[in-house]
Structure 1
Amino acid sequence: MIRDFALGLRLAIGGGRISGQALLRLAMTTFGIALAVAVLLPAASFGNLMGQREDRKAASHEVESALPGITPLLVMHSGMEFHGQYINTRVLAPTGSTAPVPPGLSRIPAAGELVVSPAVQEILDSPVGAALRARFPGTVVGTISKAGVKDPGDLTLFAGARPDELPTDKRVSKVYSFGEPSREFEAGATKLLFLAPASVMLLLPLLVFVTTASRMGAAQRDRRLAALRLIGLDGRQVRRVAAGESLVGAVAGLLVGVGLFLVLRSQIGKLDLFGLRVYGEDFVPAWPWVALIVVLIPTLAIGAALFGLRRTVVDPLGVVRIGKAPRRRMWWRWTILALGGLLMITIMFAEKRSASTLTLVAVTAGSALSLIGVATLLPWAVERLVRGIRGGSPSWQLAIRRLQLDSGTASRVVSGLVVVLAGAVLIQALVASLGASDSSKTGLSTLGTASVQVSTGQGMAEDAVQRIKAAPGITAVQTLNSAYARTATGSAGTPVQIGDCAALALRAKLPSCADGAAFYVDPDPQDGYGAELTAPTGVLRLSDSHQDGKSAEGTQWTVPDSLQHIPAANAVQYTSGLLLLTPGALAGIQLSAASPTFYVSGQGTPDEVSDRAGAAVRPLGWQTSVITIGMQAFQADTDRTASQIRSALLFVSVFVLSIAALSLLLLSVEQITERRRPLAALSASGVPVSVLAKGSLWQTAIPVGVGVVLAVATGIGVTTPILRLAGLPYTFDVGAIAILIGAAVLAVVAVTAATLPLLRSVTRLDGLRAE
């Protein structure tokens, strides 16, 4: 047995009349398997990648439990939004020499010093860096190390201050240490909806590609096996030789793939993948997955070689292939598809927005089985389609006759492309529906000019207003005070915003307004949390929103009978269950401790207004935060995020489509090489090369066309129950789906064009010479 495997290894490296041919076949097989390994290893690293990120996040957790011998570090979180990006700002003030140092810092910055993450430093070094630097009340003295940021794109800033510069309210916490036990990464409901079909659409084409690459040079190998039979090897020995020959390419592909993975890992940290940045050194595949890949790749390669011999009789005098394919066993194909369909049908009867474990398992298994089922059904569909076709042009008849004799091989390769298309239809529909859902929840699209929200302490309110009004391009400053209304027992509460009619109009479209009016924004029926809210009635207690949420302390206030209800669709996002009160509705109640928020309107874009307001309040320090609230800015940020996701998905889909197209190319090369003598005979009989090329085109295009129809139908069928479960609108990104279908058609044309030189070569008359 060992001698048979060793003989196969020798033939793989130096077999054939010309050693260069064997090396070329080995190189193509190695490249194909290496490419698959280079993709599978990063996929196997996903758990460690997210685990390292969660570890760094847990290490930065603030612990407020007192420790002996430790003086607390005062920490205040201050919001800063810059051009659609939120910068996590923490102001640090040590109360003694033993105050803890946050991860990523070598020391606590002194008052007036700033330490920024590498991503913030990149913004500062960019053309818009001057506008951001104008909003920093301090000087940048260093950057945060990897231990203090979740990923390379993390926007974090630490600012130093003196303890007397920070307020004494609950915005400031006393931190005695940093760190908590790390939590394992858990994929939520939304992530699973993406990960389940994405994993299938990535892995299945790769596995098909591995088996196709392992079959390179099968015709030449069969002739070598016939020669081995001539010198005395039996059928079992021949199969062991074939397995050993395939093992060489698989092992070489594994080694090259690992090397390619290491090279890519060292460079991936420098890339911005559609807004997602990661540390390359965090790509460490889990050993169980590595072991599975090491075992799976050679097993697939050997299995593909032996599977290719199942209908081949290798005799001492030549190779005979069974011309008529046996009848396909359909029960297991229909079983896979039926199980997937049954699970998706049960989802239709599940409660909307249900996140139970059983529902998530049904979604994951149903989508995966449906995608696999349509891939296994494709060969049967192509076979049934071409069975009854007769007539047509010569090129059409050549293609149909070839598919009638053997449609399974081409269909199996095309099945990877079908899975990509079906999975892409599903994921693109989810992204489009999520984007449409976000857009529908933005409420009013125009509430005056571009606006930003400025929050500050009560003692600085008047100074902040005067500074903002004096800034160029500012047209209006409206003030809203935040409060909270609770029942007498403190068991329930409602957020409150207090301001004049002009200020309240920035939060919702008011039916009519005068001093003394009160409004309540009705819960959004599409919002799972908002559906639990009810309008307040009777006697409540008004208090500062920064007080303890369970406290019943506060000034007694009665909800007026004239309370007007505003539909959620007529309010800006995240205002469900909000009370909007004019000063007259308070009946003389003064809430001096309420936190004021200013809504600043001005000329230009929301980013420009935000830069002006931020620069104006810079002298007030970190107790003032500026956040963009303009609907156009929110919509732009939503559109940008959706565009990044669509671009990433489109890139991944096109990449996997390229893998499927490469599988088609390998198959076409293999078939042309295997049939070079019949093709040469046809050419010698007067059949033009163009007819043969068109026949090759139709032979690939027919399975692809059937696959596209099945893929789109399956993608829509799987998407519909998932969208209903998630409570999302039915929206399909027709443009993205059309691009993917166009890419599939283009792949067929490109494969045919790439095989033309080989086709011209094998149809020369010297191809008829006997070997």
Structure 2
Amino acid sequence: MSPGPRTRDLLMGVRFALSGGREGWTRTLLTGVGVGLGVALLLVTTAIPSALAARDARASARSEHTAPTAEQPGRDTLLIGEADTRFRADEVHGRLLKPEGPDAPLPPGLESFPADGEMAVSPSLDALLKSEDGALLRERLDQRITAVIGDEGLIGPGELAYYAGDDRLRQLGGKVPRVTGFDNSAEPEPLDPVLTLLILLVFVALLMPVAVFIATAVRFGGERRDRRLAALRLVGADARSVRRIAAGEAMAGSVFGLVLGAGFFLAVRQSAAGVNLFRLSVFPGDLDPAPWLAVLVALAVPAAAVAVTLFALRGVVIEPLGVVRTARPARRRVVWRLLPPLAGVALLYPMIGQGDEGGEFSQWQVIGGVVLLLIGITALLPWLVEAVVSRLGTGGSVAWQLAVRRLQMSSGAAARLVNGIAVAVAGAIALQMLFAGVEGSYTRNTGADPTRAAIMAMIPSGSDAAGRTEAVARQIDQAEGVTRATALTGTELATTTGDPQRTAMLTIGSCAALREVAVLPSCKDGDTFVLDGGDDPAGAEEIAKPGRKLYAGAVYGDDTAEAVRWMLPADTRRVAARPDPNGEKRSGVLATNGAAPRNLGSSGHASVYIQLDPSVPDAVEHARTAVLKADPAITPFHLQDTEQSGRFVSIRTGLLLGASCVLLLIGASLLVSQLEQLRERKKLLSALVAFGTRRSTLSVSVLWQTAVPIALGLGLAMAVGVGLGVVLLKMVAAPVAVDWTAVASMTGVGAGVVLLVAVLSLPPLLRLMRPEGLRTE
């Protein structure tokens, strides 16, 4: 059975795309590369959820936080202590291991337990420790490397991680987790409406430019294609047939783009292990798009290519004697172009004030509103470019005159060149405004004072807490770049043991250390003080009475044998409390080392506040090393006056990661688009050179042809982006404010990308200006 006329027309278009000579192949290749770049980014985007899920699954498989535990040592028990650290800006995941039986659970990625003084490291940490940059870290992690952690034990190929064997965990006994397996069954808290909104907007703002570029790519070589279709009309094809032929040609180019896009995606996937963006890395196998999403991309791209082609031909009259587009076209009307952004605002307006207490946002309504607003840019920009360039005079330099005339003749092509970057900039501006507006809600003041202490080292409870803390502080104090290490030990005070109704805090330290938590007019070893103005004064008022007999240490529970009887001296003075470097305003009793109760056992808890000399290079690294050398079980915290929500930071990191990929796509696609437009003007450029036009004049003219649409497109993007940002801020009930510096930086990045592409297109332009370009067959 022979195919029908419609199928024959589509197949003819496919043959034109695949066997149309050098011109046909060039157009198909350019279309395929443009579409392929967009498809590759779409596939990467659809693979992100699976990559994040795989990272979370591996993190849960090695977690001990909610793992099954045991009270006593057994054949299947493992002592595991946290030993996380940081090296410059990178986190290092570390665990200390001591198996207590032959069936102790082995962490994922290990084939055997490292012995005492040995460690297994991740490949990235192994490379860092062997490099010159890792010299300071080698001093800290100086155990002998005996194994490399397998992929199943790492959340990403670039993760810095290690497992070290340490027999000292036996001494801590029940102070570190004793697990019989690994698991993390804790349910994550659901995202609040504002964070959900941020995630939606990140995906929409990043994917919209991709869709615009794909729509632009399928229109490469449109003028040559229309002239070919006019020749078909001359030999008897009707108007409907030529449109079906054009649709078949576009479909072939888009399918070729799908193939190239799959190839680009596989290349990116294969090299993913070597890419570390914003300290995030994924294994190649984790980039696995959901099958239904991949099928959706495979169906949507050819369908969109056909739709865009037919839409582009709606205003073109293809007749046997030519294409009626070289005549003066009718002016574009602005009325219908305002409908998409107005419809977008109409969808978003009802959600103003929602979120958190106001309820959930309608996800589809948000997506629809933002998409319509950004689509409004692509609708308004051609009208804006035409309206402006039609009013530009013909005066000025030759390069300016050539640029203006070219823009007046093909303002639509000029607008398409910057459509994608305008959409990207508008989305980035809106997102930046929203992030800045809600940042305060996800940022809290910790009360810490980093000028008084850069690091706080938390010492786990153990025997002779006070004496051990002082020894640790002296060891840290000797490290290079450390100006002072201040040790404070704390324990409980009560009038009874077992189940006291009221307790107060007893803080022990030297006079210099106690001055970190109180205003002491005078102090000598042997003094005691009662704090006034602390955060929890109730217990101190009832218990801390000079001359009273008290119990210190293990005052809770049934095991109170270690509780120490202690009398608060009658000469105890009252002093005003002050916030410690961590921002806590303590209450209770202060005791110098000479006056403190003895033999408190393992009930004490302690901390060391570490001040650094900013003039010493890598002082913080030397301090981290000193903390780990003093006791691997010590957990150091970097004091900051503010702290941001981890989820908020993760979403912002995802935005930066996605924006980097989109910028790469923008640059590559713009370069392909620019080369396609120059190729279409090859004969014209060669003719101008043959008539004596200087190449420098033509080069400047091309730059002007790029600069004018850029200025108009970015101006429109600023207006739409700021408007969308204002609507989004009102939706989350955040104060409306515009950071013009950030807006200008976003706009400048967009302009810089386009101008860089224009500069990169100059060498091909110079080659196209040769007289050989006038040759024809």
Q: TM-score normalized by structure 2?
A: 0.76
In the superposition, relative to structure 1, how do residues 277 and 534 fare at CA in structure 2: closer, same or farther (>3 Å)?
farther
1:30 aligns to what? 32
Matched, 1:597 2:598: no
In the aligned structure 2, how far is the partner of 1:417 from the partner of 1:335? 22
Which has the larger displacement, 732-741 or 707-716?
A: 732-741
In the superposition, relative to structure 1, how do residues 465 and 605 fare at CA in structure 2: closer, same or farther (>3 Å)?
farther
Give the C-alpha shift of residue 305 in structure 1. Answer: 2.4
Give the C-alpha shift of residue 49 in structure 1. Answer: 0.4
- 8 Å CA contact 2:385, 2:411 repeated in 1: yes
2:104 aligns to what? 99
State the SS of the aligned residue for 1:76. strand
Q: Give the letter for the 2:122 counterpart.
A: S
1:327 pairs with 333, 353, 357, which one?
A: 333
Give the C-alpha shift of residue 239 in structure 1. Answer: 1.6
- 8 Å CA contact 1:396, 1:698 repeated in 2: yes
Q: Give the letter for the 1:330 counterpart.
A: R
How does 1:4-15 map onto structure 2 within 5 Å? 4-15=9-20
1:701 aligns to what? 707
- 8 Å CA contact 2:13, 2:249 repeated in 1: yes
In the aligned structure 2, how far is the partner of 1:160 from the partner of 1:608? 28
In the superposition, relative to structure 1, how do residues 366 and 684 fare at CA in structure 2: closer, same or farther (>3 Å)?
same
In the superposition, relative to structure 1, how do residues 255 and 517 fare at CA in structure 2: closer, same or farther (>3 Å)?
same
State the SS of the aligned residue for 1:88. strand
In the aligned structure 1, how far is the partner of 2:652 from the partner of 2:485? 33
In the aligned structure 2, how far is the partner of 1:106 from the partner of 1:725? 54
Instruction: Show CA shifts across 1:94-117 (max 9, x none).
Output: 333232222222233344432233
Matched, 1:611 2:622: yes
Matched, 1:712 2:718: yes
- 8 Å CA contact 1:58, 1:182 repeated in 2: no
In the aligned structure 1, how far is the partner of 2:737 from the partner of 2:502? 32
How does 1:496-507 map onto structure 2 within 5 Å? 499=509, 502-503=512-513
State the SS of the aligned residue for 1:516. strand
1:661 aligns to what? 670
2:43 pairs with 41, 44, 49, which one?
A: 41
Give the C-alpha shift of residue 188 in structure 1. Answer: 6.5
- 8 Å CA contact 1:339, 1:369 repeated in 2: no
- Structure 1 residue ranges without an equivalent (≥5): 523-532
In the superposition, relative to structure 1, how do residues 451 and 10 fare at CA in structure 2: closer, same or farther (>3 Å)?
closer
State the SS of the aligned residue for 2:487. strand
2:264 pairs with 253, 260, 266, which one?
A: 260
Which has the larger displacement, 233-242 or 754-763?
A: 754-763
In the aligned structure 1, how far is the partner of 2:501 from the partner of 2:360? 30
State the SS of the aligned residue for 1:314. strand
- 8 Å CA contact 1:498, 1:581 repeated in 2: no
- 8 Å CA contact 1:518, 1:562 repeated in 2: yes
State the SS of the aligned residue for 2:349. helix
Q: Give the letter for the 2:340 counterpart.
A: R
Give the C-alpha shift of residue 282 in structure 1. Answer: 0.9
Q: Give the letter for the 1:594 counterpart.
A: G
In the aligned structure 2, how far is the partner of 1:33 from the partner of 1:181? 43
1:516 aligns to what? 529
Give the C-alpha shift of residue 232 in structure 1. Answer: 2.4
- 8 Å CA contact 2:50, 2:288 repeated in 1: yes
How does 1:90-489 map onto structure 2 within 5 Å? 90-127=95-132, 129-136=134-141, 138-162=143-167, 165-169=170-174, 171-179=175-183, 192=196, 195-321=199-325, 323-325=329-331, 327-328=333-334, 329-339=336-346, 342=349, 346=352, 349=353, 357-358=360-361, 369-386=372-389, 392-393=395-396, 407-427=411-431, 443-447=448-452, 453=457, 455-459=459-463, 461=465, 462-463=467-468, 465-466=470-471, 469=474, 471=478, 473=480, 475-482=483-490
Instruction: Show CA shifts across 1:395-440 (max 9, x none).
Output: 6566556656664443344221112222333455677789999797
- 8 Å CA contact 1:521, 1:579 repeated in 2: yes
In the aligned structure 1, how far is the partner of 2:18 from the partner of 2:208? 29
1:529 aligns to what? none
In the superposition, relative to structure 1, how do residues 748 and 307 fare at CA in structure 2: closer, same or farther (>3 Å)?
same
In the superposition, relative to structure 1, how do residues 626 and 545 fare at CA in structure 2: closer, same or farther (>3 Å)?
farther
- 8 Å CA contact 2:394, 2:401 repeated in 1: yes
- 8 Å CA contact 2:63, 2:184 repeated in 1: yes
In the aligned structure 2, how far is the partner of 1:596 from the partner of 1:716? 51
In the superposition, relative to structure 1, how do residues 649 and 377 fare at CA in structure 2: closer, same or farther (>3 Å)?
same
Which has the larger displacement, 39-48 or 57-66?
A: 57-66
In the aligned structure 1, how far is the partner of 2:504 from the partner of 2:270? 51
- 8 Å CA contact 2:491, 2:506 repeated in 1: yes
In the superposition, relative to structure 1, how do residues 633 and 316 fare at CA in structure 2: closer, same or farther (>3 Å)?
closer
In the aligned structure 2, how far is the partner of 1:452 from the partner of 1:379? 59
In the aligned structure 1, how far is the partner of 2:225 from the partner of 2:411? 22
In the superposition, relative to structure 1, how do residues 588 and 501 fare at CA in structure 2: closer, same or farther (>3 Å)?
closer
Q: Give the letter for the 1:611 counterpart.
A: H
State the SS of the aligned residue for 1:228. helix
Q: Give the letter for the 1:173 counterpart.
A: P
In the aligned structure 2, how far is the partner of 1:687 from the partner of 1:119? 57
Give the C-alpha shift of residue 52 in structure 1. Answer: 0.8
- 8 Å CA contact 1:201, 1:423 repeated in 2: yes
State the SS of the aligned residue for 1:307. helix
Give the C-alpha shift of residue 650 in structure 1. Answer: 6.9
Q: Give the letter for the 1:212 counterpart.
A: T
- 8 Å CA contact 2:38, 2:665 repeated in 1: no
In the aligned structure 1, how far is the partner of 2:192 from the partner of 2:502? 28
Q: Give the letter for the 1:57 counterpart.
A: A
State the SS of the aligned residue for 1:45. helix
Instruction: Show CA shifts across 1:678-699 (max 9, x none).
Output: x889899998877766665444
In the aligned structure 2, how far is the partner of 1:432 from the partner of 1:653? 21
Instruction: Show CA shifts across 1:16-35 (max 9, x none).
Output: xxx22222222222222222
Q: Give the letter for the 1:271 counterpart.
A: V
How does 1:550-561 map onto structure 2 within 5 Å? none
In the aligned structure 1, how far is the partner of 2:224 from the partner of 2:471? 86
Q: Give the letter for the 2:333 counterpart.
A: R
2:547 aligns to what? none
Give the C-alpha shift of residue 365 in structure 1. Answer: 6.4
In the superposition, relative to structure 1, how do residues 38 and 180 fare at CA in structure 2: closer, same or farther (>3 Å)?
same
In the aligned structure 2, how far is the partner of 1:194 from the partner of 1:413? 29
In the aligned structure 2, how far is the partner of 1:25 from the partner of 1:451? 61
Give the C-alpha shift of residue 267 in structure 1. Answer: 1.4
- 8 Å CA contact 2:80, 2:98 repeated in 1: yes
1:525 aligns to what? none
Which has the larger displacement, 535-544 or 288-297?
A: 535-544
Quote the sequence identity (%).
28
In the aligned structure 2, how far is the partner of 1:534 from the partner of 1:381? 68
Which has the larger displacement, 750-759 or 680-689?
A: 680-689
Instruction: Show CA shifts across 1:62-106 (max 9, x none).
Output: 322679997332333345444454433333333332322222222
In the aligned structure 2, how far is the partner of 1:199 from the partner of 1:649? 9
In the superposition, relative to structure 1, how do residues 383 and 661 fare at CA in structure 2: closer, same or farther (>3 Å)?
same
Q: TM-score normalized by structure 1?
A: 0.77
In the aligned structure 2, how far is the partner of 1:378 from the partner of 1:494? 69
Paired positions, count: 730
